[in-house]
């Protein structure tokens, strides 16, 4: 616990103070709810509602004050330095789930404040999740005494989760990020073909960035005997958008299902209400990611796609939501929505889409587009090969109902050695490093 707090404090002093404050308030609220449940259910519900509302309000303030007072929150201004604490969106959702589960009597409130601090501040997941639940995390903490230091199977997984996560992040995501920035910043100078490529590049970049971090976090946490929840399960292999959201950022998806969608009524109140509830969930999802209108549009697009998919499922239209056809449609839907997610503003996203559908092949030559991006053919080949490789690996894992780190750890020793040296070489040779390249995690901003 102390090491986690010191690590967070080293990243950002405010973040260290904020997570301690949230932990104390979460622990205290859990204790009060637990005590009052035995005396007065309405009072317990009131305490929980006040605590949850307070955290939601703080999250809105941290996200939206800088956005709507941008002049005051310029790069060197005070507001930018205090807003927003690193990891706040993630551990506040954990705090809310803890308090709500105590009220629902799904869990018992912890009498030990140190356990709550560790739950919210556990360093491998602090920066970008996954969003853990108290019951699974606390159970593992209580059983840490049974974890053997030199446990071969655990350390195999530590090695391959961290290596594969690093490969996805530095060898694929960071390389793509160089050209994604140029494509989105210079959309008006490029042709439709390259803007389509830009949408594809970002679709792969954000996946390899976030999933790579998640794999790495899982590996680091395993070193201490704590298994974090799976956050990605080959989402681009999904055959419909509903399946996509069961495989993409799974800890957030399940959180929104359990604490927003189901309390709203879920699918129990008819088709129309189900669609409304779905739209509300994705509106909240968009707002959680950022204050810009582009994030709201991204969320609402997924809400519309999900509503259409639900209708197609109810009507029995299997062709467009299963098999290779469904896979292609889902990938196109996700890729199109990512344009608004990546855009710096809603107007920039609209401009990008407009240029993508109006500047057709021949408007600007291939060579001129390459020159505008300062992209050489060798680099383009490396990028294409990396995308093909990650697609093949994901498809292999999807069909085996596993993931690549688990598959490597479970195979024979000879194959593990080959995978180990191959990953090391790919990271060293193709990894992007240095002060000139931003390696900041995309989801660290949320």
Residues with catalytic roles: 289
| CA within 13 Å, CB half, 50 | 12
With contact defined as beta carbons under 8 Å apart, do 406 and 147 qualify?
A: no
| CA within 13 Å, CB half, 266 | 9
Burial class (CB in 10 A: 0-12, 13-18, 19+), 277: buried
Give CA 401 to chain center in angstroms.
21
With contact defined as beta carbons under 8 Å apart, do 260 and 278 qualify?
A: no
Distances (CA, A) of 169 to 135, 206, 417, 439: 30, 9, 21, 9
The closest alpha carbon to 236, from 406, 390, 441, 402, belongs to 390
Q: Where are the alpha helices (DSSP H) in 69-87?
A: 78-82
Q: What does the longest C-alpha to C-alpha distance in the chain come to?
A: 75
Spatial distance between the Cα atoms of 151 and 220, rounded to a whole number of angstroms: 15
Spatial distance between the Cα atoms of 83 and 80, rounded to a whole number of angstroms: 5
Give CA 140 to chain center in angstroms.
23
Report whether the peptide linkage leading into residue 112 is cis, meaning its omega lies within 30 degrees of zero: no
Q: Where are the alpha helices (DSSP H) in 69-133?
A: 78-82, 88-103, 113-121, 123-126
Buried b (16+ CB within 10 A) or exposed e, 99-109: bbbbbeeebeb
Phi, psi of 92 (to 5 degrees): -70, -40
């Amino acid at each position: 616990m102390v090491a986690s707090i010191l690590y967070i404090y080293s990243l950002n002093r405010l973040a260290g103070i904020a997570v301690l404050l949230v932990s104390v308030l979460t622990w205290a609220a859990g204790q009060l709810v637990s005590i009052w449940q035995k005396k007065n259910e309405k009072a317990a519900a009131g305490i929980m509602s006040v605590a949850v509302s307070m955290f939601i309000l703080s999250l809105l303030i941290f996200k939206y004050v800088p956005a709507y007072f941008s002049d005051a929150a310029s790069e060197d201004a005070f507001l930018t330095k205090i807003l927003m604490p690193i990891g706040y969106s993630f551990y506040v959702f954990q705090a809310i789930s803890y308090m709500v589960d105590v009220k629902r009597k799904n869990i018992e409130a912890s009498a030990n404040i140190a356990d709550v601090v560790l739950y919210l501040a556990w360093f491998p997941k602090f920066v970008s999740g996954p969003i853990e639940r108290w019951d699974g995390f606390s159970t593992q903490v209580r059983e840490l005494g049974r974890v053997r230091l030199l446990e071969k199977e655990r350390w195999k997984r530590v090695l391959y989760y961290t290596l594969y996560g690093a490969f996805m992040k530095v060898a694929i995501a960071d390389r793509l990020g160089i050209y994604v920035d140029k494509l989105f910043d210079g959309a008006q100078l490029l042709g439709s073909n390259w803007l389509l490529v830009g949408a594809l590049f970002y679709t792969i970049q954000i996946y390899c960035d976030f999933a790579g971090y998640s794999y790495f976090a899982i590996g680091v946490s395993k070193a201490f005997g704590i298994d974090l929840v799976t956050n990605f399960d080959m989402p681009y292999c999904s055959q419909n958008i509903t399946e996509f959201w069961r495989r993409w950022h799974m800890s957030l998806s399940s959180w929104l299902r359990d604490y927003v969608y189901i309390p709203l009524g879920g699918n129990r109140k008819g088709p129309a209400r189900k669609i409304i509830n779905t739209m509300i969930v994705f509106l909240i999802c968009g707002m959680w990611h950022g204050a810009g209108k582009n994030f709201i549009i991204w969320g609402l697009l997924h809400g519309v796609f999900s509503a259409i998919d639900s209708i197609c499922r109810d009507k029995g239209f299997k062709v467009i939501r299963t098999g290779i056809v469904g896979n292609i449609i889902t990938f196109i839907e996700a890729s199109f929505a990512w344009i608004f997610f990546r855009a710096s503003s809603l107007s920039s996203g609209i401009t990008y889409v407009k240029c993508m559908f109006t500047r057709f092949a021949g408007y600007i030559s291939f060579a001129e587009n390459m020159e505008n991006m300062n992209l050489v053919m060798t680099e383009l080949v490396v990028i294409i090969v990396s995308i093909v490789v990650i697609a093949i690996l994901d498809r292999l894992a999807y069909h085996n109902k596993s993931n690549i780190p688990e598959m490597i750890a479970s195979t024979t020793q000879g194959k593990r050695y080959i995978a180990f040296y191959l990953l090391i070489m790919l990271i060293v040779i193709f990894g992007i490093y240095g002060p000139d390249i931003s390696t900041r995690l995309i989801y660290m901003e949320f």
